[in-house]
Structure 1
Amino acid sequence: MKLSDVTLTHQYADLGGAFGSRTTPTPFAHPALIHVNPAVLQLLGIDASEAHNPDWAQLGCGKKLFKGSKPFAMKYTGHQFGVYNPDLGDGRALLLGGIEARGRLWELHLKGAGKTPYSRFGDGRAVLRSTIREYLAGEALTALGIRSTRALCIVGSDEPVVREEIETGAMLIRVAETHVRFGHFEYLFYTKQLEALQRLIDFVCQRFIPDTGDMGTSEQAEALLRFATRRSAELVAGWQSVGFAHGVLNTDNMSIIGDTFDYGPYGFLDDYEPAFICNHSDHTGRYAFEQQPGVVLWNLNALAHALSAFVGAETLRECLEEFQPHLINTYAALMRRKLGLTTEEENDQKLCADLLQLLADNRVDYTNFFRALAHYRGERPPSALLALLPPAGHSALRHWLEGYDRRLAHENSDFCRRNRAMRAVNPKFILRNYLAQKVIEAAETGDYRPLQTMVTLLQNPFDEHPQHEFWAAAPPESGKHMPISCSS
């Protein structure tokens, strides 16, 4: 499909005025195309050759609209750091519409598009820094097998935007199957728009839980909560397995279908640090890495409360009780794969927990350790692994490896098969914050080559890429714990 043939539909906007406001984007005066994502072009059924179409600069900043587009600012509310905020909504983004490709509907969302009725005191803009971070993060998690929104393109400008300092404005077109958040349901519940809430429940169920089509609202709402609970458990299990911290798990940042949503001050673990806080505004550690499972369950409770107009308290509790066992089972399966185990044994949880404690005690790089473990074949001394720990941790590592060796022997593990399997789930390349900052700093000077390199590596994180060893290295101390703000 050619870019000129793209025609958008607008099912969500057609739900009515209770759901948001028609809003015209505020384009940049001098837009400049920075990057088009070829993988997302393919996802949307757009010809690869269209990546070079000059119309992207206009489409990516709202100066020109796709055929059929009716830009729409979505209204929602949510709990931010545990406190309900009624004054939320798309304050700098517009839902452009949806595009059907290969039997699926994908929504396009223009971020940084200017003021909307929900901007409050904001300027409605995004900056190049935050736009690049979101662009990269969607590709990183998608390639790691974790559901995520993605981005189609980035458009920059010379427009000054004030954050902690003066930066330049940028926009991206975000792509997701839906942009409905937990906060959409909260908004309609707390404002007592129950007929609209019924419509929203039916809308989401019709799209994502097709066997609920003939159900009444109560049954649909129950099915929706069970669906969201399982999807959210799978999502956070994936985050914990790869060492990803979201940073701002407010209910307005939670996708109803369990996508990673609204990237801000996120961070991948460098050293394995359970209490890692990536958001410099999170003074209490509410959204620390190890707190994410509990926070996601807290958010599901908030969603359940928003559905309580149609579902009884006991049923809501039963739905939410599915979260913990599904989380534990999903996480355990993911960690067995990371360890190269193909069967399940009673002591696997302890084997994994002991390793994580070892990594935490010795401040070991999480990603690089598991990648190195993929190449371990029982050698003594285990030089490659020992090199990742300080000498004080060597004895503990040897002791853990003895138990690991016994566990591998129980299932007659073959090194070559295990090595291939572990390299396919333990990435060599992750999106480290200090590397993202190098990409951003280069882009701010007009050099987009590091951005292209990073996109390539993140889309293929399990490959060796021997010419790019620098991008796989653990950061220097100065590259750890970089202060990342919500304006990211």
Structure 2
Amino acid sequence: MQPSPQPAAYRPERTILSLPDTLYDPVVAANFPETILRFRNDRHAATVGLDTLTQADWIRHFGRFAPLPGSLEQPLALRYHGHQFRYYNPDLGDGRGFLFAQLRDGADRLLDLGTKGSGTTPWSRSGDGRLTLKGGVREILATEMLEALGVRTSKTFSLIETGEALHRGDEPSPTRSAVLVRLSHGHIRIGSFQRLAHLGDADSMRALVEYCLVHLYGEEPGDAPEAQLLAHVARGTARLAASYMAAGFVHGVLNTDNIAITAESFDYGPWRFAPRWEAGFTAAYFDQNGLYAFGRQPAAIHWNVVQLAIALRTLASAEALAPMVDLYAPAYETAFRDAILARLGVRSRGEAEDFALLGAMEAALAESDTAIDRFFFDWRGGRLRTDTAAYADPRFDAFRDIAAGFGPAAPLDLPYWSDPDPCGMAIAEVEALWAPIAASDDWAPLQTKIAAIRRMGDALRG
């Protein structure tokens, strides 16, 4: 599980400016008719020393985008390409967002404040550069839930309603508008490298590799910096894929422009939490072939790592890079085991018994209608904590027998484990949380849900 966020002092940065200016475009934020603060993440604002901002200053910085002292003087829209559902698109880039500021946290990590819905840029194509308020609410719920479940994710930092009426094909229109700010570990994507490879810009590629190693991974470039970076990405994205599976999460759009070079999850559009362990479950209505279905996510992310390796061949040989790509599969196996054991709350008993437990679990869940959240809640600590008839099904016999040999990794004395039901995030609940906001501007149910999610996260961390 991820550690709890820790307070830190404000330490602005602007290291992105050390990169060639061919990688970004200075832009100007939209001038919104209104700026109504709807969500302020003081828990994570404290990790970068911004929790003491007044509401007026918060809106000035994250609704009007007045520069933060000592950081970027002007927002930057980054340039990138990407494979979208396996089709290469050279017409991408930050089309409705930008990099607003950079800071360091208490662990000395370089963090970026990026936007979504902040207006048009040179890369907007035919889009309006805006975000619906409902889309912002959905991103809050995704990031809060994933953080609680131990997934390395961007954090929804701020959501401000902007007073424009937007027309969208997938929402009743006109609908309300918003601008979102996310806190993330880096703004660079696999698609950033693909663009440079497409252009044959070796000098900028070399600079970007060095930037990522030094500023995002805290390492000096060695004799083979491209392979060094690729190894980090292969291992990190394997852990990301494993954490998605353990969380029962389906991102929905795992294109190369949506995979951060730091392997931190971000950019939530048609996401869903799978109701049951169904490999073919999809999140996006337009994913008609199930390319990014629940069970295909590890392979999809691995494919993206291969595309990074192909881009890095601008600087390095295939022979030097191939072994780094091969790190992905064993890293995924280990990370999946660790993530499942953590969610079950049990101690490892060694590789053979751990993987036997995982195999029995997957087989039982795939053949039953048991909800993923329900299963992990009921079996926390490796023992069935309530007398539930569903698990009397013979399909759970093998799992029950193997789990009996595992011991709890932490006490189960926190109140959450005595609740009658787990804290989940079914799509029906997302709609139910949005309904009172749409109908009467009632944000209380959303605030209650965020508190419940954070309570679950505290319990999972033990």
Give the TM-score, by structure 1 length.
Answer: 0.84
CA distance in 2, matches of 1:79, 1:376: 41
Name the structure 1 match of 2:428.
434
Kindly provide the amino acid, as one letter, of the partner of residue 433 in structure 1. Answer: I
Q: 1:198 aligns with which of 197, 201, 206?
A: 206
Q: Is 135-144 or 346-355 further displaced after alignment?
A: 346-355
Q: 2:269 aligns with which of 264, 268, 275?
A: 264
Name the structure 2 match of 1:251.
256
TM superposition shift of 1:419: 4.4
CA distance in 2, matches of 1:23, 1:345: 52
Change beyond 3 A, Cα 1:417–1:250: closer
CA distance in 2, matches of 1:11, 1:159: 34
Q: Is the 8 A contact 1:244 1:266 kept in 2?
A: yes
Q: Is the 8 A contact 1:428 1:463 kept in 2?
A: no
Change beyond 3 A, Cα 1:378–1:363: closer
Kindly provide the amino acid, as one letter, of the partner of residue 447 in structure 1. Answer: D
Name the structure 2 match of 1:142.
147
Name the structure 2 match of 1:448.
443
SS in 2 for 1:93: coil
Name the structure 1 match of 2:308.
303
Q: Is the 8 A contact 1:222 1:319 kept in 2?
A: yes
Change beyond 3 A, Cα 1:63–1:354: closer
Name the structure 1 match of 2:115.
110
CA distance in 2, matches of 1:143, 1:156: 25
Report 1:6-405 matches (<5 A).
8-47=12-51, 49-50=52-53, 53-62=55-64, 64-67=66-69, 68=71, 69-102=73-106, 103-164=108-169, 165-213=173-221, 215=222, 219-339=224-344, 340-374=346-380, 377=383, 383-384=387-388, 386=389, 388=390, 394-398=393-397, 400-405=399-404
TM superposition shift of 1:146: 1.6
CA distance in 1, matches of 2:343, 2:105: 33
Q: Is the 8 A contact 1:250 1:299 kept in 2?
A: yes
Identity of aligned residues (%): 27
CA distance in 1, matches of 2:94, 2:384: 54
Q: Is 145-154 or 177-186 further displaced after alignment?
A: 145-154
Change beyond 3 A, Cα 1:7–1:417: closer
Kindly provide the amino acid, as one letter, of the partner of residue 198 in structure 1. Answer: R
TM superposition shift of 1:417: 5.2
Name the structure 2 match of 1:480.
none
CA distance in 2, matches of 1:53, 1:22: 27
CA distance in 2, matches of 1:246, 1:170: 22
TM superposition shift of 1:315: 1.8
Give structure 2 stretches of 5+ with no counterpart.
1-8
CA distance in 2, matches of 1:377, 1:140: 24
TM superposition shift of 1:7: 7.7
Change beyond 3 A, Cα 1:46–1:378: closer
Change beyond 3 A, Cα 1:35–1:403: closer
Give the TM-score, by structure 2 length.
Answer: 0.89
Aligned pairs, number: 441
Q: Is the 8 A contact 1:428 1:464 kept in 2?
A: no
Kindly provide the amino acid, as one letter, of the partner of residue 154 in structure 1. Answer: L
Change beyond 3 A, Cα 1:402–1:58: same
TM superposition shift of 1:31: 1.4
SS in 2 for 1:28: coil
Give structure 1 stretches of 5+ with no counterpart.
466-488
